[in-house]
Structure 1
Amino acid sequence: MMLKEIIGIAQEAGEAMLKIYNDAQDVEISRKDDDSPLTKADLASHHIIVDALKELDPETPIISEESGVPAYDERNGWDTFWIVDPLDGTKEFIKKNGEFTVNIALIDDGIPVMGVVYVPDKETLYYAEKGKGSFKQVGTEAPEPIYSTASTSDDELIAMQSRSHGSGKLVEQLKEKGLNVVKTIPAGSSLKFCLVAEGKADIYPRMGPTMEWDVAAGDAVYRYSAREGSHSSPLTYNKEDLKNGSFLIGLKDNVEF
């Protein structure tokens, strides 16, 4: 497939974002129709990624957070498509805490078969491909495989928690569902998937809504971090409404959310 090229595209977009991030004392913010924040970095990354994907793979359609979503009547016929979040964690970008990412994923027959998550401020790359596993690379170091083991609800669990959307009631909510959560780790953007994929946390519960482009690349990194085969995931793609409901990543058990 085109994994090497996709990694290069994500890194180029990340460098453009980082230039804006480092050059501006205050990040200039506008608002989208849903009142979510938008910066010049979102748009710069979007144009780099979409233009590069169109050149690299002109036959495959693209959904990007910043380009609008084609009507379902059109998308319903897509077997394969790219889905992109040019800047995941815009709130973290604005807060300048470094926890923002570039997310690019390839969806085939409803599942992510390739995913790249790049963390520009940390020069850290996570990537995965179906059948080949998940990897982490820091700076110019050699990539290393990452692994995770799906937990059970009886285990003592470390849970990821959204840094910007987290709830102080998360542990209580999870315990009500029979989960023995002993610790939470806050993080921004798709890093939450990646930290579960590399075994630094056991589960990532998401109580609020996300969009498919928020989760696809991180979902791929988690799915293919299994030592054999792939982990199951509750997330699906190219739904009529691209909004996801609540979900839980990292458990063998089926826990309803």
Structure 2
Amino acid sequence: MLDLFERLALEAGREVMRVYHRDFAVDRKADASPVTEADRGAERIILAGLREAWPEIPCVAEEEVSAGIVPADLGREFFLIDPLDGTKEFVNRRTDFTVNIALIRNGVPEAGVVFAPCTGKLYSGRPGRAEAMDVDADCRIAARRPIAVRAGNSPLAVVASRSHNTPETDAYIKSLGATEIVSVGSSLKFCLVAGGEADVYPRFGRTMEWDTAAGDAVLRAAGGTTVTLDGAPLAYGKRDQPHDSDFANPHFIARGR
């Protein structure tokens, strides 16, 4: 399954970069967030591949959900897809946007891939093994190596959101004492912690499950954790939430050792 995730992420990344290198329109969804033909085209590629290979496993994909297409019953396992995480970065011609595919089993992100097509970095995770890969200009894997979280450095390196920072996040970072702060967009924040390049990623702003699932899978495979503010593991498949929409996440902290 992870092999197909990687192939679909690379193919979707090629489509994203095809749009990135020319002029494109930016539309607005009902929540005012941006969406482009790169989001839609990458999602079509991923969904087609997953549904052909595993028609029995439901898919929850960001743009389909935005259009009102949601599986009635998720069952014990389903796919979560964010075809272009970091659309704001993409629109502003930055480089830290990603393609994300994850398998959720019993509420846990069990396997996932994160591909940053602009920088040629691909990350994957499954129980017991996380990897980082270098991808060449033709979107082919050129090198592969295992990754793991590190014991906390002194000072701690904290990954913060480039586009969605909050006063609560700033207060939490301050509470950690002397820190090195790394600002980056999209699900790459999880991957920096997973690869031992940072120690903690606090998120005190709103996210959806498709924003976090793939990166969370990589982090957990690398030996890290993602917990809510009460210390419980961040769960997936959240529906009928009394104070928020389906698939919305609470605040969380992702960390290494």
Residue 133 of structure 2 aligns with which residue?
A: 137
**Cα distance, 1:172 vs. partner?**
3.6
Residue type matched to 1:232 in 2?
Answer: T
**Cα distance, 1:181 vs. partner?**
4.3
SS, match of residue 159 in structure 1 = strand
- Residue correspondence of structure 1 range 218-257 to structure 2 within 5 A: 218-226=215-223, 231-234=224-227, 235-240=234-239, 241-250=246-255
Residue 53 of structure 1 aligns with which residue?
A: 50
d(CA) in 2 for partners of 1:170, 1:80: 32
d(CA) in 2 for partners of 1:137, 1:52: 21
User: Contact 1:159 / 1:181 at 8 angstroms: preserved in 2?
Assistant: no
Residue 44 of structure 1 aligns with which residue?
A: 41
- Residue correspondence of structure 1 range 102-141 to structure 2 within 5 A: 102-131=99-128, 133-139=129-135, 140-141=141-142
Q: Show CA shifts across 1:208-251 (max 9, x none).
A: 0100000000001111112xxxx332211001131112111116
SS, match of residue 63 in structure 2 = coil
Residue 160 of structure 1 aligns with which residue?
A: 159
User: Contact 1:149 / 1:199 at 8 angstroms: preserved in 2?
Assistant: yes
Q: Which moved more, 1:138-147 or 1:189-198?
A: 138-147
Residue 242 of structure 2 aligns with which residue?
A: none
User: Contact 2:166 / 2:205 at 8 angstroms: preserved in 1?
Assistant: no
d(CA) in 2 for partners of 1:55, 1:181: 50
Q: Show CA shifts across 1:37-75 (max 9, x none).
A: 010100000111111111011110000001116668x33
**Cα distance, 1:151 vs. partner?**
3.9
Q: Show CA shifts across 1:124-170 (max 9, x none).
A: 10001113x11000124321001103549xx5311101111124774
User: Contact 1:146 / 1:225 at 8 angstroms: preserved in 2?
Assistant: yes
User: Contact 2:159 / 2:189 at 8 angstroms: preserved in 1?
Assistant: yes
Residue 94 of structure 1 aligns with which residue?
A: 91
Residue type matched to 2:180 in 1?
Answer: K
SS, match of residue 89 in structure 2 = helix
- Structure 2: segments with no counterpart, 5+ residues: 136-140, 228-233, 240-245
d(CA) in 1 for partners of 2:7, 2:252: 31
TM-score (norm 2): 0.87
**Cα distance, 1:23 vs. partner?**
2.0
Residue type matched to 2:226 in 1?
Answer: S
Residue 255 of structure 1 aligns with which residue?
A: none
- Structure 1: segments with no counterpart, 5+ residues: 253-257
SS, match of residue 111 in structure 2 = strand
TM-score (norm 1): 0.87
Change (3 A) 1:247 1:147: same
Residue 205 of structure 2 aligns with which residue?
A: 208
How many residue pairs match? The answer is 238
Q: Show CA shifts across 1:188-217 (max 9, x none).
A: 100000011111111001110100000000
User: Contact 1:171 / 1:181 at 8 angstroms: preserved in 2?
Assistant: no
d(CA) in 1 for partners of 2:64, 2:172: 36
Aligned-residue CA RMSD (Å): 1.9
User: Contact 1:158 / 1:181 at 8 angstroms: preserved in 2?
Assistant: no
d(CA) in 1 for partners of 2:221, 2:212: 14
SS, match of residue 12 in structure 2 = helix
User: Contact 2:158 / 2:173 at 8 angstroms: preserved in 1?
Assistant: no
1:19 aligns with 2:18: yes
Q: Show CA shifts across 1:87-108 (max 9, x none).
A: 0000000011111100000000
d(CA) in 2 for partners of 1:58, 1:71: 15
SS, match of residue 147 in structure 1 = coil
